[in-house]
Structure 1
């Protein structure tokens, strides 16, 4: 007998199985949900790739909720808005960090909540709906940064390629100039050796000159040391006192100057009368007189030359004696201050006498024509002689100027400077010679090797640029250099 199937029983059993399976799945989904839940708004700036409804919300790696919805808004296309369902007792605080974490294997994203300060408030305890602002996924940021880096690298390589193409003639000329320079150094090795020999000889000559100047500076230093500073100071003090006395008697000196002006005016009238007398002077007598004056001036010039030689040959003891004499003379002048005042007073009266004397000369000018004529010529010669004496006194002042440290000090400093320069050059001459020798021997080979390596580097750079142009993806993302081909089915 054939058994007939009970379709009703089978249908009910199938529905029961589906209901139990649905209940089991629902129980598994709701297993982690304990207590009440809160809705939280999430704002994601930029790219929110992988974030979709049902994705989990994790706090320090533990699941506390899920994503309810994900949407975008027409009025704000730069952000993505999502709603989260989170456990009401989750410890989410104001400074909790919110990020979109991507799962590399599945490609899905989760909302990751990390940390928070205990002193901050819990945002889920507020009545208003909390709003969290998330940072984009690090993977998305990396991909975006990689894309920007690729663009920058591409632009840079294009600029480098353009720069190389534009300046290729200049690069070739630079390499050619380097080769010409190295060949020129190799050709002129003998000239460089001769130059170093000349420098060595010059350093020896400078060293000898330094020794000579050292001895001269030593002698000059001995002369300066022989001058006693105390005597110089006392002499200057006495001169200062004398100048003070003269300043105190400046009023009387002004009167003397006024009287002298009047005397000069009278003397001018006298000279006007003498001009007519000079025009009538006998030429032969004038020639003889000039001859006599020239003989006198020649003898005086020789005497001054001898005096100059004596001053140049003076020794330290004589200088000390001269300073002692000057000091004594200044001291006597200081002690004679009252007498100097009397002399100034007498000079005023003497000026008046000179005025009367000039009047007398005006009355007797005819008797003094010849005397005045001879005195005029002699005065001209005496002026020249006084200039020579002034120069001689200037030399002596230069010798003792600044406590005896004028010309002597400058000569000493110059000698020391020249000696230091000579010693410095002599110390460096061997290193300079050895450096040039090494450069002429090994430097040429190093330059040739550098040029060869530069050519190889340029060639490798051109190959790299060519490979990048042919296959940029291989340069940026890596991979096998051998292309793979798949057979069509």
Structure 2
């Protein structure tokens, strides 16, 4: 009897322990979770490969919950939403960000939450009374995969185009290769000529070296000659020449006036030859003035290239020009005072006789 009583007590104790375990599990998975956790809705765009129910939810790298369920958005199949349970004390704000991250090389994905500003408001329930919604950003892994797909597509397209180009221009490519081969053979067969050409070019370069030195010396000598010219003397000669040209033009105008006056005196037929000579003289004076004006412009350019010896020659020319101008002025004044003297010569004085009565 005593042995049977011990087995009964052991069985009752075992049943009590099992019942207590069930109650504890029920409390942990049911009632306790409903009071210590909050549910949020994370919306993803694109693939969520590796994410499954029971996956981790991380907040700044710390595990704070798990994925409850995953499903497609009813109104947009390109989006996926995940319901996650997060501890109530975790500060989920309206500016909290979410993204999908892969754990190691296993391919298992988790939801990473990045905390927002402490001054931001807590994330509450949605307008329809459902869980608060967080729109996830694209993860680095997703961006990497998309970039890899894009690069792969571009590389494949480039290879296709390259193959088409080679197929289309295979004849031209073969011809170019043959031409290169011919050119290479020609160079090989004329190696001696190329060597001689390079040797000749070396000799030419050696000759050009001394020539460049001579040209440099010539440029220095020319610069010295230009610097030796006194700018003040050049300016003086140019001024004197310009004054000479101006005075000659004025003298020519006076000759025109004299010719006009002479035309009144020489209205007869016999005086036409003399008038023609005077007109020719005036025309010559005009031509001389024009030539001097042209020479003046040329001298103003060329004087800068001459040394002091050339300047003295032009000064002598200016002095002679002044003398010539003075002679012309005296001749013009003489004609203005007595034009008949120019035509008929100087009148001889007729001696006067007085009769004695």
Q: How far did residue 353 of structure 1 move?
A: 5.8
Report the counterpart of residue 85 of structure 1 in structure 2. 85
Report the counterpart of residue 19 of structure 1 in structure 2. 19
1:349 aligned onto 2:336: yes
Q: Give the SS at the match of 2:113.
A: strand
Residues 157 and 64 of structure 1, relative CA distance in 2, 3 Å threshold: same
- Assess if the C-alpha contact under 8 Å between 1:53 and 1:68 holds in 2: yes
Residues 231 and 54 of structure 1, relative CA distance in 2, 3 Å threshold: closer
Report the counterpart of residue 297 of structure 1 in structure 2. none
Q: How far did residue 47 of structure 1 move?
A: 1.2
Higher relative contact order (CA 8 A, sep 6+): 1
1:322 aligned onto 2:313: yes
Residues 324 and 28 of structure 1, relative CA distance in 2, 3 Å threshold: same
Report the counterpart of residue 180 of structure 1 in structure 2. 182
- Assess if the C-alpha contact under 8 Å between 2:335 and 2:341 holds in 1: no
Cα offsets for 1:112-144 (capped at 9, x unmatched): 1124344x4033368865321113455455444
Question: Looking at CA atoms only, which structure, 1 or 2, has the larger radius of gyration?
Answer: 2
1:122 aligned onto 2:121: yes
**Bigger helix share:** 1
Task: Tell me the distance in 1 between the aligned counterparts of 2:54 and 2:343.
Answer: 138
Task: Tell me the distance in 1 between the aligned counterparts of 2:168 and 2:44.
Answer: 47
Q: How far did residue 232 of structure 1 move?
A: 3.2
Report the counterpart of residue 65 of structure 1 in structure 2. 65
- Assess if the C-alpha contact under 8 Å between 1:235 and 1:326 holds in 2: no
Q: How far did residue 221 of structure 1 move?
A: 7.6
Residues 113 and 253 of structure 1, relative CA distance in 2, 3 Å threshold: farther
Task: Tell me the distance in 1 between the aligned counterparts of 2:230 and 2:164.
Answer: 81
Compute the TM-score of the two structures, normalised by the length of structure 1: 0.46
Cα offsets for 1:327-359 (capped at 9, x unmatched): 5446x56xx99x6895596387389669978xx
Report the counterpart of residue 363 of structure 1 in structure 2. none
Q: Give the SS at the match of 1:124.
A: coil
Cα offsets for 1:72-114 (capped at 9, x unmatched): 2342122112333333432233443311223467755322112
Q: Give the SS at the match of 1:135.
A: coil
Residues 254 and 18 of structure 1, relative CA distance in 2, 3 Å threshold: farther
Report the counterpart of residue 156 of structure 2 in structure 1. 154
Between stretches 123-132 and 170-179, larger displacement belongs to: 123-132
Between stretches 14-23 and 152-161, larger displacement belongs to: 14-23
Residues 241 and 172 of structure 1, relative CA distance in 2, 3 Å threshold: same
Report the counterpart of residue 234 of structure 1 in structure 2. 236
Q: Give the SS at the match of 1:160.
A: helix
Q: How far did residue 147 of structure 1 move?
A: 3.9
Q: Give the SS at the match of 2:49.
A: coil
- Assess if the C-alpha contact under 8 Å between 1:46 and 1:79 holds in 2: yes
Task: Tell me the distance in 1 between the aligned counterparts of 2:312 and 2:186.
Answer: 69
Compute the TM-score of the two structures, normalised by the length of structure 2: 0.60
- Assess if the C-alpha contact under 8 Å between 1:102 and 1:139 holds in 2: yes
Residues 350 and 87 of structure 1, relative CA distance in 2, 3 Å threshold: farther
Q: How far did residue 208 of structure 1 move?
A: 7.4
Residues 90 and 136 of structure 1, relative CA distance in 2, 3 Å threshold: same
Report the counterpart of residue 191 of structure 1 in structure 2. 193
Task: Tell me the distance in 1 between the aligned counterparts of 2:103 and 2:205.
Answer: 79
Q: How far did residue 235 of structure 1 move?
A: 1.7
1:170 aligned onto 2:172: yes
- Assess if the C-alpha contact under 8 Å between 2:57 and 2:112 holds in 1: yes
For 1:37-52, list aligned pairs within 5 A: 37-52=37-52
In structure 2, runs of 5+ residues without a counterpart are 275-305, 345-357
Report the counterpart of residue 470 of structure 1 in structure 2. none
